[in-house]
Structure 1
Amino acid sequence: MVQNKAVIFIFILCIPLLLIGQDIKIDYSNPDNWAALPDKIDNADLVPGNYTTDKQPDSQVDVFFLYPTSFSNKSDIMIWNAAIDDKEVNQDTDERSIKNQASIFNQVGKIYAPRYRQANYAAYFDEDKIRSQQAFDFAYADVVDAFEYYINHYNKGRPFIIASHSQGSTHSMRLIKEYIENTKLAKQLVVAYVVGMPVPASYLNTPPCLSPGQTGCICSWRTYLDKYEPDHVASEEKMISTNPITWDQSSGFSNKKDHKGSVLFDFDKGIYPKIMRAELHGNILWIKKPDIKGKILLQRKNYHIGDFNLFYKDVQENAKLRVDNYLNQNNSSSN
């Protein structure tokens, strides 16, 4: 009897893995299956320090946002994809990424952030590449379903921004390639912020953004401390790399005065401007330590967790500029 119970327990734990490849779709007509929607009260509505108000209701563009990994089950029997209604995972997603990243765009557009059955963090490092790819494919299938639902029921031909971080960017670059490029949707793309993952310049036809106001292009960066370069970077092919302070390809470190502002440890304390300097170093972004009290205690070399937060206001203001340019260009061409 004990042995039979153990078998049943193992089977239950493995259900998410067994579901991979099965035609079990998420109902995206249900608002519960979205971490953020313009007409839903959610953490994408929040403003750091309450310095202004959520401007989604008046926005002329949309933002389709894909959040990073918040699922890292570390049990002996690995669950490779999160359940769509996992309360712990969803709460972590909402309190971290939706609050601190997606909210950047509530001054710019209407935010649509679908919940998806994200791959386990361990899938990035698993030696079984077939198994890990299955986990990512399973998550990506949800992303596709959500995007198609968004286009067919919410978008109504409006221009849109793609924004993503980490695992979200793993999926968004594939989404751009397979569902936006070479379709009529390409003309609706204002800009894509595909952040926290390497984006090969050869993978996409959509060009990299080379100036602050360029539209129909891709921005991407991975943030590390000055003078640090992970071993794998040296062997990489050419990646899209953007400086999220200067928004161009200029060399050397940016000036602190040009930094619009970070959101740091406490969202409610607001924006910290003029504390960051950044420069492009090949495929990655180098920064100086944030100029804050206690910075000497910061020992981090990899600032992946802060890819968006360190440049919160910079991204927000840049998105406004690109939106304004897009709308002006398209209003002129239609007259």
Structure 2
Amino acid sequence: MLGLLLTGISACTQIIKPGRQFTAYQPAPGPDYALPASWAALPSRLDSADAVPRHTTLRDQQQTAPADVFYVHPTTFFRRESWNANLADERLNRFTDASVIRKQASAFNSAGRIFAPRYRQATLYSFFDDAQSTNGRQALELAYGDVKAAFQYYLTHYNQGRPLIIASHSQGTFHATRLLHEFFDNDPKLRRQLVAAYLIGFKVKTDEYQTLRPCADSTQTGCYVVWNSVEWGNEYPPFAGGVATNPLSWTLDTVAAPASLNRGGVPYGFDRLDTAVVDAKVHDGLVWIHPPKPLGYPRFLLPGQPQLRHSFHIADYGLFYLNLRQNAEARVRTWQRQNQ
């Protein structure tokens, strides 16, 4: 399970390894999702998911949006004092909100009301842990338990039969992929509510589900989308053979989509739209891109992990921000027409 993302542990990655076994730590108290503080984003209040890139005409439209979005954020906990984050860590919460809630979850605030739970995420090292160890697996299992509890609370108290988008990145996708197994794959009623799942930044197998299938075009509903951005011409074995969707054409074929189809990337500074920022081509579970010329779209660089030097993992959302935003809107409109 843990070998899906990265292989091998170098001396450099040891600096983020927790100092004790998982069982030697007392996990921080779990969340109570009846409390607003247990959510990074709720549509009933002002928060980072309401943001739009500066110097653009984009607008938050959650108050009138016809759908809901359940967004599971990626890893923002990199420290070694424990295997799982503490939800009372305000410094970590502020970082999560200012980074991924603002720069990823916000991509959906014109299509749906955004619900983003805080959860006791596993520390980054969990994905590097030795295959013979159970520490990383136990940390991820604890994290998933929180995500599942949040989703159950959302369904009971917030959804009220509304169409639903599942969105995630990296560790969030690790958990969201499992949510789809447990809640949607064998539940026709809930599956009918699914607009689409955007399972970005992690490997999802082509035969992952019994019923759910990858989206074949830009308006299909009840399906899922996956991509992992890598510099053109490079391989990345841990993601080989997975699903890859071209986020410019929204197809699964290997035809290269030109940068002219890129309606707008948003750099890490969240301060502009860059049109035609990159092209895209599906290749063996990856989306190949030529590196963007504008500054602000970082690679995923980690000491001691040279295989990551070609990855644009951190920019998976930013490179295709406006295409993603408009696609979510289009799929919601299609869902509404199909269910009138």
Q: Indicate whether the TM-score tops 0.5.
A: yes
Pairing partner for 1:223 from 229, 233, 238: 229
Equivalent residue runs for 1:63-82 within 5 Å: 63-74=69-80, 78-82=81-85
Matched residue, 1:249: 252
> Secondary structure at the residue paired with 2:182?
helix
Quick check: 1:222–1:307 contact (8 Å CA) kept in 2?
Answer: yes
1:43 matches 2:52: no
Matched residue, 2:200: 195
Mapped partners of 2:108, 2:244: distance in 1:
21
Identify the structure with the greater helix proportion.
1
Quick check: 1:228–1:301 contact (8 Å CA) kept in 2?
Answer: yes
Note the C-alpha offset of 1:186: 1.0
Matched residue, 1:7: none
The more displaced of 122-131 and 102-111 is: 122-131
Note the C-alpha offset of 1:34: 0.4
The more displaced of 187-196 and 200-209 is: 200-209
Instruction: State TM-score, norm by structure 1.
Output: 0.87
Quick check: 2:103–2:268 contact (8 Å CA) kept in 1?
Answer: no
1:126 matches 2:132: no
1:58 matches 2:64: yes
> In the TM superposition, what whole-angstrom CA distance separates every residue of 1:225-248 from its partner, at most 9, and x where no partner exists?
001112444xx4x31110111101
Pairing partner for 1:273 from 275, 283, 290: 275
Provide closer, same or farther for how the CA distance between residues 304 and 160 of structure 1 changes in structure 2, counting only shifts above 3 A.
same
Quick check: 1:82–1:119 contact (8 Å CA) kept in 2?
Answer: yes
Matched residue, 1:8: none
Mapped partners of 2:157, 2:137: distance in 1:
30
Note the C-alpha offset of 1:178: 0.8
> Secondary structure at the residue paired with 1:116?
coil
Quick check: 1:16–1:81 contact (8 Å CA) kept in 2?
Answer: no
Report the count of equivalent residues.
310
Amino acid at match of 1:98: I
Instruction: State TM-score, norm by structure 2.
Output: 0.86
1:182 matches 2:191: no
Provide closer, same or farther for how the CA distance between residues 303 and 37 of structure 1 changes in structure 2, counting only shifts above 3 A.
same
* 4+ aligned runs moved over 6 Å, structure 1: 13-16
Mapped partners of 2:194, 2:50: distance in 1:
22
Stretches of structure 1 that go unaligned for 5 or more consecutive residues are 1-12
1:309 matches 2:318: yes
Pairing partner for 1:208 from 208, 211, 214: 214
1:162 matches 2:171: no
Identity rate of aligned residues, in percent? 38
1:104 matches 2:107: yes
Matched residue, 1:85: 88
Quick check: 1:16–1:83 contact (8 Å CA) kept in 2?
Answer: no
Quick check: 2:300–2:311 contact (8 Å CA) kept in 1?
Answer: no
In our comparison, the structure showing a higher alpha carbon Rg is 1
Matched residue, 1:285: 287
Matched residue, 1:322: 331
Matched residue, 1:6: none
